[in-house]
Amino acid sequence: MVTDPNLAIIVLAAGQGTRMKSATPKLLHPLAGAPIVSHVLATARAMDPALILAVVRHERDRVSEVIEAELPDAVIIDQDHVPGTGRAVEQAVADLPEGFNGDVLVLNGDVPLLDADTLRELIDGHRASGAAATVLSSVVSDATGYGRIVRAADGGLERIVEHKDATAAERAIDEINAGIYVFGVSALRDQLAYLRTDNAQGEKYLTDMVELLHRAGSSVSAVPVAESWKAEGINDRAQLSEAAARLNALIVRGWQLNGVTVQDPATTWIDLTVTLAPDVTILPGTQLKGATTVEKDAVIGPDTTLVDCEVGEGAKVKRTDATLAVIGARASVGPFSYLRPGTVLDADGKIGTFVETKNSHIGQGSKVPHLSYIGDSNVGRGVNLGAGTITANYDDLTKHRTEIGDEVHTGSHNVFVAPVRIGDGAKTGAGAVIRKDVPAGALALSVAPQRNIEGWVEKNRSGTAAAEVAERARSAQEANDGSQRQDG
Ligand code: UD1
Ligand code: CA
């Protein structure tokens, strides 16, 4: 799109969001991986207007930070103590350059699913009609909480009445105000000062502009959106989950049409920021979040959560929880693996069942198949770490690294007490506790030779079931040995 020099956008983001009942400002609750308001800001940017203004007040620093991150050029307006969407717009309009004579698009910060094409149509329609204001409306099955569109006998827009101020007859109206408006700036400049607060909420309602303009003889119109879900606002957590499901269904469908197999869209959650290649397969119960990317032919899931991960071509990641991890081509992860930040598993590697990794590089073709913790480690190529390997990286004061060379094979149930280094091709015995470096090619054994103390159980545990069976087994063995001697 080319910049529209006659368009300014005001994003309303000053409200508290009381109905969320949350310490987090409503507009910062996440939706498909981004704060609610970020979706509105991204749409505003896509419109390419001359100017974007965002009005803040409640938790202004936290909200402004998100706005500045998304739209560094936006003008932040601080709403004063007078409440209401009308006051928010009044203050933003006062900040518009005097020479600006175009249209003002007002976007409620809590209506995140609207797309730029719908808004562009609204603006084009507004301009073609010559109206002073055009309101986006929506016909819905449950209008509770919304402002209702009150039309005159001839169908023209007369006024908007807020739910809390509406009569029973008005509450029966199923056409609602979507909270999206286009105003000619002169209409705003002329009438905003007349907004009053004598209503159920004691606020300056932007919606009262419709009646003011109508009475002043200006033409105002309400245009229903074709798909009503696009205009849904988020006031509480039930509406948040509905919007999230709606957006997720769109995201999943988009990937399906791009060649990704998603077996169960209802239990697959994909953030807007995720990238998937064709012929990726996603199995039920999978969440892909943040900057996660997945290359072709990889199979993810079931029951897997990946946050900011890179998954290579043909890799398989099953029943896994991973954050900030890199999984190489054809690698295999899971089931029941926990990959913490800084895990890098090279091509053809394996992180198996009940294995936790952190801040570790596991080289090409290397395997950590079972019941292990690998932290702060470098593992070379072609390594096999035995079942139950623990890198003891923390000595109660600081973390240390474990360095394991190429083609190292370790015994089961080893502890590597870091800092420690295992040379290329070395081996370790079962149950070893490795506290000293192992040279390349060495076999390291740290367990004392086994001693069998004969008859210990019968002597020390007489009368127990163990002693009884042990005695029987020993007598049988002795009898057997005796007869063999006679034979021999
Ligand atoms: C508003 C509309 C209602 C419409 C609905 C659509 C008004 C008076 N009512 O109601 O007709 O059907 O949206 O979703 O406008 N805000 C400010 N400053 C304030 C108050 C609110 O910037 O003083 C912002 C909020 O952060 C929010 C938006 O304006 O992003 C809407 O405010 P909200 O309180 O949610 O209005 P609704 O009651 O939903
Ligand atoms: Ca709202």
- Indicate the top mutation candidate among 19, 24, 77, 108 to test ligand 1's pocket, ranked by most ligand atoms within 8 A of CB: 108
Rounded distance from Cα 40 to ligand 1 centre (Å):
14
Write down which residue in 444, 466, 483 finishes a domain.
444
Is residue 277 domain-shared with residue 227, that is, in the same domain? no
The reported pLDDT for the residue numbered 220 is: 97
370 is a catalytic site residue? yes
- Indicate the top mutation candidate among 85, 114, 201 to test ligand 1's pocket, ranked by most ligand atoms within 8 A of CB: 85
Rounded distance from Cα 113 to ligand 2 centre (Å):
13
Relative to the CA of 201, which ligand 1 atom is closest? 8
Rounded distance from Cα 110 to ligand 1 centre (Å):
8
Ligand nearest to the CA of 37: 1
The reported pLDDT for the residue numbered 109 is: 98
Model confidence band, residue 1 (pLDDT cutoffs 50, 70, 90): low
Nearest CA to ligand 1 atom 11: 147
Residue 292 falls inside a structural domain: yes
CATH number at residue 324: 2.160.10.10
The reported pLDDT for the residue numbered 485 is: 75
Is residue 19 domain-shared with residue 158, that is, in the same domain? yes
Q: How many domains does the chain have?
A: 2
Q: How far apart are the first and last CA of the chain?
A: 101
Q: How many residues does the chain have?
A: 488
327-349 burial, b at 16+ Cβ within 10 Å, e below that, comes to bbbbbbbbebbbbbebbbbbbbb
Percent of the chain past pLDDT 90, that is, above it, reads 96
Is residue 439 domain-shared with residue 313, that is, in the same domain? yes
Question: Taking a C-beta distance cutoff of 8 angstroms, is the pair 333, 322 a contact?
Answer: yes
Relative to the CA of 205, which ligand 1 atom is closest? 8
Tokens 């988020």 correspond to 234
Is residue 220 domain-shared with residue 165, that is, in the same domain? yes
Is residue 183 domain-shared with residue 102, that is, in the same domain? yes
Residue 449 falls inside a structural domain: no
The reported pLDDT for the residue numbered 482 is: 85
Q: How far apart, in whole angstroms, are the C-alpha atoms of residue 424 and residue 437?
A: 12
Is residue 359 domain-shared with residue 423, that is, in the same domain? yes
The reported pLDDT for the residue numbered 251 is: 98
Residue 153 falls inside a structural domain: yes
Residue 406 falls inside a structural domain: yes
Is residue 106 domain-shared with residue 171, that is, in the same domain? yes
Task: Give the 3-state secondary structure of residue 321.
Answer: strand
Rounded distance from Cα 445 to ligand 1 centre (Å):
71
Torsion of CA 409, 415, 419, 424, to 10 degrees: -10
Weakest-pLDDT range from 68-77, 159-168, 349-358, 478-487: 478-487
Residue 137 falls inside a structural domain: yes
CATH number at residue 162: 3.90.550.10
Residue 249 falls inside a structural domain: no
Is residue 219 domain-shared with residue 287, that is, in the same domain? no
Is residue 138 domain-shared with residue 61, that is, in the same domain? yes
The secondary element (H helix, E strand) that includes residue 204 is none
Catalytic, out of 370, 400, 409, 413: 370
Write the DSSP symbol of residue 298: -
Q: Strands 326-327 and 344-345: what pairing?
A: parallel
Angle between helices 36-46 and 116-129 (to 10 degrees): 50
Is residue 165 domain-shared with residue 286, that is, in the same domain? no
Nearest CA to ligand 1 atom 29: 12
Nearest CA to ligand 1 atom 32: 15
Tokens 């470098």 correspond to 378
Residue 461 falls inside a structural domain: no
71-110: pLDDT as tens digits: 999 999 999 999 999 999 999 999 999 999 999 999 999 9
Ligand 1 binding site (Cβ under 6 Å of any ligand atom) = 12-15, 55, 79, 83-85, 87-88, 108-111, 146-147, 160, 162, 176-179, 205-207, 233, 235
The reported pLDDT for the residue numbered 488 is: 57
The answer to whether residue 421 scores a pLDDT higher than 60 is: yes
Residue 165 falls inside a structural domain: yes
The secondary element (H helix, E strand) that includes residue 86 is helix 85-94
Which domain does 429 fall in, by range?
260-444
The reported pLDDT for the residue numbered 414 is: 98
Question: Taking a C-beta distance cutoff of 8 angstroms, is the pair 103, 127 a contact?
Answer: yes
Is residue 55 domain-shared with residue 160, that is, in the same domain? yes
Rounded distance from Cα 84 to ligand 2 centre (Å):
11
The chain-wide mean pLDDT, for the chain, equals 97
110-134: pLDDT as tens digits: 999 999 999 999 999 999 999 999 9
Nearest CA to ligand 1 atom 13: 179
Q: For residues 183-195, give the mean pLDDT.
A: 97
Closest C-alpha to 185, from 412, 30, 7: 7
Is residue 40 domain-shared with residue 152, that is, in the same domain? yes
